[in-house]
């Protein structure tokens, strides 16, 4: 079992819709979780991090964490074509290493 | 804040050449930096963890004699690919660790695309 899993996609949503990206992790002792966006040919850029159960909002982005279910999600409201990218979920494990998921490719259709 | 630079952004070299890549944290000090490699359409693969003033910690399967890491200061880590071969062609990305809001967060450099002919 991979430590951090994501659907590879591609996930396609129409412009203006809500994009929902999901991530699960296997190490129950993981404490911090991160969402990065990576455009093709570029390096990842941090969107947000979360470490408490519940929701955390930042502009059009909302991260959700459910430690009991070992599940993290990222919602993008009012999706724009410029949001089309690969989204990487990462977890800081109980042994202090950050593990990245394989990424989900998002395509926002104008 | 939290800007990380890498130099060079792109390298094309002949097989057998050694290539040095620099990673700098520009507006913060980073005791810990990481080096990743990413092949096309694949996720990030952690190569090594670079700690200022001590030896780097390499991931399983990464040759430390081929990928030499030096973390000489709190703002600079270097990766040297010794005697590069075509199979070393990849996108190399560094990140620096910053504690913000009680959480250690990685901030990535722009990456270096290495092509070995």
Using one digit for the tens of pLDDT, what is the confidence trace for B6-62?
999 999 999 999 999 999 999 999 889 999 999 988 889 999 999 888 899 999 999
Which residues from B are below 8 Å from A88, CB to CB? 43-44
pLDDT score of B2? 79
DSSP letter for A30, please: -
Residues of B at the A interface, defined by Cβ within 8 angstroms? 34, 42-44, 46, 91, 93, 103-111, 113
Contact between A46 and B104 using a beta-carbon 8 Å cutoff: no
Query: Three-state DSSP class for B86?
Result: helix
Could you give the CA distance from residue B94 to residue B44 in angstroms, rounded to a whole number? 11
Which residues from B are below 8 Å from A42, CB to CB? 110-111
Which residues from A are below 8 Å from B3, CB to CB? none
Token pair in block for residue B5: 């630079």
pLDDT score of A28? 93
What is the band of A62 on the pLDDT scale with cuts at 50, 70, 90?
A: very high
pLDDT score of A4? 94
pLDDT score of B100? 78
Q: Per-residue pLDDT tens for B54-107?
A: 899 999 999 999 999 999 899 999 999 999 999 999 999 999 988 877 788 899
A22 touching chain B per CB within 8 A: no
Phi then psi for A82, rounded to 5 degrees? -70, -10
Burial of B28 (0-12, 13-18, 19+ CB in 10 A): middle
pLDDT of A1 > 70? The answer is no
Instruction: For residues A48-77, give the mean pLDDT.
Output: 96
């Amino acid at each position: 079992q991979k430590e951090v899993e994501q659907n590879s996609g591609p996930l396609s949503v129409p412009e203006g819709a809500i994009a929902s990206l999901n991530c699960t992790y296997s190490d129950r002792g993981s404490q911090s979780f991160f969402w990065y966006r990576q455009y093709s040919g570029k390096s990842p850029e941090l969107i947000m991090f979360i470490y408490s159960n519940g929701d955390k909002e930042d502009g059009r982005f909302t991260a959700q964490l459910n430690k009991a279910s070992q599940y993290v999600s990222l919602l993008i409201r009012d999706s724009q074509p410029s949001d089309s990218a690969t989204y990487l979920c990462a977890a800081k494990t109980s042994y202090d290493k950050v593990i990245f998921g394989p990424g989900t490719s998002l395509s926002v259709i104008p | 804040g939290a800007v990380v630079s890498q130099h060079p952004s792109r390298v094309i070299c002949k097989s057998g050449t050694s290539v040095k890549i620099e990673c700098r944290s520009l507006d913060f000090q980073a005791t810990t930096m990481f080096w990743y490699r990413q092949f096309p359409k694949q996720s990030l693969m952690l190569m090594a963890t670079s700690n200022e003033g001590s030896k780097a910690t390499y991931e399983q399967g990464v040759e430390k004699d081929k990928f030499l890491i030096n973390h000489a200061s709190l703002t600079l880590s270097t990766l040297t690919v010794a005697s590069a071969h075509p199979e070393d062609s990849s996108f190399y990305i560094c990140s620096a660790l910053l504690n913000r809001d009680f959480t250690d967060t990685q901030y990535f450099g722009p990456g270096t695309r290495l092509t070995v002919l």
